[in-house]
């Protein structure tokens, strides 16, 4: 059964890689079509294409600079929210018996996930939605 899960995981990964490759080819083809169209458009020609290329280089540079910090900022916000949940006293009290059972191999990982979702569904919803951080580190 483990081999089939690994094969399915590998197939899913390869399918993702294939879809990314095909989307990149499609994007490049669309870019080529627009370049050919603009180059052959009456009144645009080489001069217009040169101006477009210069403007695009500036745009690409500004886009790169402006998007550098966005993934880091999102990761930081998510990690701070998760830290609040993990430091929550109610969370720690509820997780202690489950942690002990996992360490003693009394329950499987799948069963743990089911228990975890049920026990903490309301508490995590409360923390994430309402921003209730009153009982953290009391």
CA distance 132 to 84: 10
The more confidently predicted of residues 9 and 132 is 9
The answer to whether residue 26 scores a pLDDT higher than 90 is yes
Copy the structure tokens of residue 83: 């830290």
Integer CA distances (angstroms), 7 to 2, 18, 83, 109, 138, in order: 9, 16, 34, 20, 47
Q: How far apart are CA 137 and CA 85, in angstroms?
A: 11
Residues 36-69: tens digit of each pLDDT: 888 888 888 778 878 888 888 899 888 888 888 8
What is the average pLDDT value for the chain, to the nearest integer? 77
Residue 105 φ/ψ, nearest 5 degrees: 55, 35
DSSP conformation class of 41: S
106/29: higher pLDDT = 29
Please give the Cα distance from 87 to 107 (Å, whole number): 24
Q: Helices marked H in the chain — which ranges?
A: 2-40, 45-67, 70-86, 89-103, 109-130
The pLDDT value recorded for residue 14 is 84
């Amino acid at each position: 059964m483990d081999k089939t899960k690994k094969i399915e995981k590998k197939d899913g990964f390869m399918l993702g890689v294939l879809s990314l490759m095909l989307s990149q080819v499609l994007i490049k083809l669309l870019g080529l079509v627009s370049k050919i169209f603009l180059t052959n458009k009456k009144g645009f020609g080489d001069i217009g294409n040169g101006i477009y290329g210069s403007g695009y280089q500036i745009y690409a540079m500004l886009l790169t600079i402006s998007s550098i910090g966005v993934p880091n900022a999102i990761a930081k916000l998510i990690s701070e929210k998760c830290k609040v949940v993990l430091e929550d006293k109610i969370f720690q009290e509820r997780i202690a018996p489950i942690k002990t059972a996992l360490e003693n191999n009394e329950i499987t990982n799948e069963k743990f996930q089911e228990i975890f979702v049920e026990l903490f569904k309301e508490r995590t919803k409360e923390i994430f939605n309402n921003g209730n951080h009153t009982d953290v580190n009391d």
